[in-house]
Amino acid sequence: MASKASNKDPSKASSTARPSKALIKAIGRADLDRLRTVLHHICQNSEEANESVEEDLLMTDLYVGKSGRMKVKRQFSRYEECLRCRSEFDVTENDDLACTYHYGSLDVWDDFWADHDEDVHGTIDTDKMRENFPDGFVYSCCGESANANGCVYGRHEEEKDVEPRQQKRFKWQ
């Protein structure tokens, strides 16, 4: 594969770039939306950066075309968020033991809330209450509290990209 000619100073090549301590600190403190915006801007303005980010974040399905040459069928994200455990995972390392999760519902544990009056103290079954009082909720599948590790192993489950089906045109007669 031929390499592209570059007008850049070889001493400042991206492979030898060292971010300053201040930059590392700023990246660590930046909001995720800001980081995404900056990364998007960098990819738009640098072909080399775009290729590097694609190599890190995308997977490519290839197929052999009629000419016998490899062709790109589709590109897709290498990292996904699991619909079961809500953690990020690498799709290339997803196996039958990769994910631990609960298959049951997370229910209010009445014994924990025996002295709680919803009219006075507020609704029990809310996201905030589940976060603040995980011991007050149990999974129907195993009876463990909300902060317990999953009781079942399986593959991480990713959201499937659904391509819209082609609409057929009907001829009215």
Q: Which residues contact 158 (CB under 8 A, 6 or more apart)?
A: 80, 81, 82, 83, 89, 91
pLDDT band at 101 (very low <50, low <70, confident <90, very high): very high
% residues pLDDT > 90 (the chain): 68
* 71-92 residue pLDDT tens: 778 888 999 999 999 999 999 9
Q: Which two tokens stand for residue 68?
A: 């016998």
* 105-149 residue pLDDT tens: 999 999 999 999 999 999 999 999 999 999 999 999 999 999 999
* 10-24 residue pLDDT tens: 444 446 788 999 999
Number of CB atoms found within 10 A of residue 94's CB = 17
Q: Mean of the per-residue pLDDT values for the chain?
A: 84
> In terms of pLDDT, which residue wins out, 96 or 3?
96
Residue that has been written with the tokens 């897709």 in this structure: 76
